[in-house]
A and B are shown apart, each in its own frame.
Chain A
Amino acid sequence: MTGSFRKTMMAAMLLLLTLPLPQAQAAAPRYERSVHNFSIPDIVLVNQDRKRVRLKSIIDTEKMVIVDFIYGTCTTICPVLSAGYANLQRKLGKDSEKVHLISITIDPENDTPEVMKEYLERYRSKPGWDFLTGSRQDINRVMNAFDSYFRDKMDHKPLTFIHSPEDGTWIRLYGLLSGKDFIKECEKVGVL
C-alpha cells in the first residue's frame, strides 16, 4: 500500500512538472542535466544475440556511448526512451556509427535475448544499439554505479547517460527529452 502511495506521489509530481511550457518559456528544458564521473563495474553482460559483452570494454571506446535502463514489457517511460534512441539513429544517419546506444534491462527475469531482439525490431533499431541483460546482481551493480538503483522495475525513472570519450565524464539526463534536445545534448559531447 505504502509503495503504491509513494509511486502515486512521485507520478503526480512528474505529471505536474512535465506540463508543457508555453512559447515564452520554451528555453527552460523539460529535463535535469548534470555531469558525473562514474566507476563502471567490470562485469560481463549478454546482448540480444546471446553474445557475452564485457561492459567496460564497450564503454571505454572512441565512440560516444549512451546508456539507458528499460525493460521489454514496460508501459510508459521505456517506449518513449526507446523511440528517442530510434529517432536519434534516424536523424544522425551515417553519423550514427559514431554513437553506441546501450539499453540495459532492469527486468532480467523476463528479458531473455529473444525478448530483447524482438523489442529492438519493434523499434526498427539499426546496428549500434545493443540491449543487454545479465544476472540480476550484476545489473544491480551497474545501476548502483550510475547512482540509479531501482529496488523494483515499477519504480524506475527516465534516465539517459551520455559518455564522453574525450574526458570520460557522463552527462546524466533526467526526464523525457524531445528529439531536438537529445541531438543537442549529443552534439555537446563533441563527437558528432
Chain B
Amino acid sequence: MACSAAKTLSKNVKKWGFYNVSMSFSKSRIALVFFFATALCLSGRLVSSAWAGTDLPPEKIQELGQKMYRDGVLPSGESIKAFVSDDVPVDGTAFTCVSCHLHSGMGSIEGEVITPPTNGRILYEPREPFIKGYEHVPSFSNYAKYLPVRPAYTDQTLAELIQGGVDPTGRSVLHVMPRYDIYGKDMDILIAYLKTLSDHPSPGVSKEQIKFATVIVEGTDPQAVKSMLDPIQFGIDRKNALAIAAGNNDRVARMGYNMLGPDLMAKKFTLSHWILKGAPETWRAQLEDYYQNEPVFALLGGISAGDWAPVHHFCEDKHLPNLFPVVDYPVLSDTDWYTLYLSRGIRQEGEAAARYLMSIQSLLKDGAILQVYRDSRRGQALADGFRQIWNAAGNTAAIEVTLPPGEKLTKTQLQQLLNKHKPVAVIVWDDETALPALTEVATEKSHPNFFVTSATWLDQSIYSVPEPLRGFLYMTYPYRLPQEEARFKNLLNKVLQGKSIAQYDEKIFKKGYITNQMIGDALMEMRSEYYSDFLLDTIGMMEDTYLPLYERLTFGPGQRYASKGCFIVQLSEGDAPKLERRSEWIIK
C-alpha cells in the first residue's frame, strides 16, 4: 500500500508540475502574503466589533447558529451575503457552511478540495501535520499532513477567517471558501455554535467499545431475520476477534494499527437485538426503553415486513443513525437525515416503469395508458410510484383499475378493458396469476405493443413467460441481472464460511452483507471521531460502490436512498431464456 501511495504521489506531482513552477513560493512571496494579510486586517473591515461572546441561552445559540450554519440565514431572517472566487457575490443560502464542512463540521474531501474540520474542538487547537496520538497511522496522517500548519484559532482570528478568508498565519485559505459578511452579535452566535459542533462523542461509544443495535419487528419470518442478522453479526464477531488477536499477536496488532488506528483496533463492538412487539403505535415507547437502557451509536440493518415509520421517526428525534433497514416501504423524505435506506422500496419499480414509458413516449403517441393493480399494499405502492412520476411530468393520468384481493385477472376482463380504453401500454401490478391473461391477450391479432409488470412480484415465473408474450412484456427488475450477479459469489462465500446460501433468503442476506460492509468502511474513514452526524457525512461522501445485489450504490451529501436504479428487462427467446436489459440502470 505504501508503495502504491508513493507512486500515486509521484504521478500527481508530475501532473501538477507546471503549477509548481509558476506558483512556487519564495521568501519574498511569503513576505508579500504576510504584508497583504496584515494590511487587510488593519483595514478594520474584517475586525468584528464585539468579542465578548454571546449571552444567549444555549438552546437559542443552537437554533440561530444552526440556521446560519445549515441554511445560510442570519438571526434577522436575511440571507447571509458572501463573496467567492474573489469577486463573485453569492447568497449564503447557496453557499452554506454545511455544504462543505457537512453536518458534523468534520469537513470533507471532494473534487480535489480538502475542507478542514470546523468544529470548535479542532479549530481551537493548533494544527500539526499529524493527528495527535495517531502519528503513525497511515490513513490518519495522509489526511493531516497535507493541511497547512496553523496555530489555534481565537474568537478574533476565527472571525477574520470567516469574514476575510485569512487564517492565523496570515495565509489566505482556498478561494472555494466564501468570505462571509457576518459581523458583531451574528458572528458571536456562529462562533458559539461552532464550539458546540461535534463536541462530545455520540452515545454508545466508550473507550472500550462501540454499541450497536438492530431492530426486529416480532412476527417477521425467522429465515428473513437470520438472513439479515448473520452477515452483520459476522462483521461484529470478526472485528472483536481482531481486537483480541491484536492483544495477543504483535503482527496482527501492527496490521490492525495501520488499518484502523490504535483506538478503533482495540474497541469491541456489541450488537443488541431490539425486538418490537405489538402494534406500530406502541413501538415508540419500546424504542425509548431500549435506548434509555442501552444507548447505542447506530442501528445496523433492522427488519420489518410492514411498517418502519415509527423507527424512522424515533431515529430522527434521537439523532440516531440507522443504516439500511430491510424494509419494502421506507419513509420517503427529502430532508430527513438519520436513516439510510437501500432504495425507495417497492414503489421504485413503479417509478421506473413511469420513467421508461416516458422515455419511449414518442412511440406511445399520446395514447391511453392502462394501469391495473392488485388492491394490496404492494400493488398500491407500485401503482402510486408510477402515478406520481407519470403525473408530475404533466402526462395525462393513466386509466386505473384495481383487482380485489383473491380475484384473478382473466382474459375476458383484460380484453374488455382493452376494447373499452384502447390503451397503447398496459401495466399490470400483480403476481404470476396474471400471466395467463396477458399471454392470451398477446396471442390476439391486435394488442398493445407494451405490457409492463414487476419481475420481483412475478418471482421465478419470469422464466416461464410464454413465447407470444415475451416480445411485448417489459418487466421492472431493481437488482443486478442474475447472470452478472453470479460473479459476486466469492464475496459472499467469505461470510457464508462454508454454509449454503440456500438456507438463507438470498436477497436479504445480501442486504445484511451491504450493511456490514458499509459500517466497516465508514468507521475506517472516520479517524476515530465517533459522531453520529460524521458517520452519515462519511457515507454521504463515499464513492459509488459495487457490492452484491444492486447494480450500483451511490451516495452524496443528503442522499438517502443508495440504490437509485431499476432495469427494464425482457425474457430472451429460446428454451433456456435469460433476462435481457432493455434500459440502463438509470432511466432518463
Chain A residues with CB under 8 Å of chain B are 1-25, 28, 30, 32, 45-46, 50, 71-80, 82-84, 86-87, 107-110, 114, 122-124, 133-137, 152-158, 176-180
Contact = CB atoms under 8 A, between A and B. Distances in A.
A96 B17 CA distance: 36
Given A19-B25, A83-B88, A123-B94, 4 more contacts: A8-B143, A15-B147, A109-B564, A177-B85
A10 B16 CA distance: 9
Contacts of A24: 32
Given A15-B147, A75-B115, A135 B588 contact: yes
A74 B23 CA distance: 28
Nearest to B10: A9
Nearest to B144: A8
A19 B172 contact: yes
23 contacts: A2-B5, A6-B12, A12-B146, A13-B13, A19-B23, A19-B25, A20-B36, A20-B172, A23-B32, A74-B110, A75-B111, A75-B557, A76-B110, A79-B84, A80-B88, A83-B94, A135-B586, A136-B584, A152-B543, A154-B110, A178-B85, A179-B86, A180-B87
Contacts of B143: 8
B488 interface: no
B4 to A, nearest CB: 6
B85 A8 contact: no
Closest 3 CB pairs of A and B: A12-B146, A22-B32, A73-B556
B584 A137 contact: yes
A4 B525 contact: yes
A124 B36 CA distance: 34
A113 to B, nearest CB: 8
A61 to B, nearest CB: 23
Contacts, number: 205
Contacts of A110: 554, 556, 559, 564
B93 interface: yes
A152 to B, nearest CB: 4
B12 A75 contact: no
Nearest to B355: A112
B47 interface: no
B147 A84 contact: no
Contact of B115 (A76, A108, A124, A157): A76
A13 B113 CA distance: 9
B102 interface: yes
B588 A133 contact: yes
Interface of B: 1, 4-5, 8-9, 12-13, 16, 18-20, 22-23, 25, 29, 32-33, 35-36, 84-91, 93-95, 99-100, 102, 108-115, 139, 142-143, 146-148, 171-172, 174-176, 358, 392-393, 524-525, 541-544, 552, 554, 556-559, 564-565, 584-586, 588
Given A80-B84, A135-B586, A5 B113 contact: no
Nearest to A17: B19
Contacts of B392: 114
A2 B112 contact: no
B111 A74 contact: yes
Contacts of A20: 33, 36, 172, 175
A21 to B, nearest CB: 7
Contacts of A109: 552, 554, 564-565, 586
Contact of B113 (A3, A9, A15): A15
A136 B146 CA distance: 33
Contacts of B175: 18, 20, 30, 80, 176, 178
B111 A157 contact: yes
Contact of B112 (A28, A50, A108, A158): A158
B585 to A, nearest CB: 7
Nearest to A133: B588
Contact of B95 (A13, A73, A79): A79
A17 B23 contact: yes
A77 B176 CA distance: 7
Given A4-B139, A109-B564, A157 B86 contact: no
Contacts of A123: 94
B87 A178 contact: yes
A5 B142 contact: yes
A22 B29 CA distance: 7
A76 B114 CA distance: 9
A32 B95 CA distance: 25
Given A20-B33, A30-B175, A15 B588 contact: no
A114 B393 CA distance: 10
B8 A2 contact: yes
A80 B95 CA distance: 9
Nearest to A138: B588
B111 A155 contact: yes
Contacts of B23: 17, 19, 21, 28
Most chain A beta carbons < 10 A, residue from B23, B36, B112, B148: B112
Contacts of A153: 544, 556
Most chain A beta carbons < 10 A, residue from B5, B32, B85, B91: B85
A23 B586 contact: no
Nearest to A77: B111
A82 B84 CA distance: 11
Nearest to A156: B111
A28 B36 CA distance: 17
Contacts of A4: 109, 139, 142, 525
B85 A179 contact: yes
A157 B15 CA distance: 13
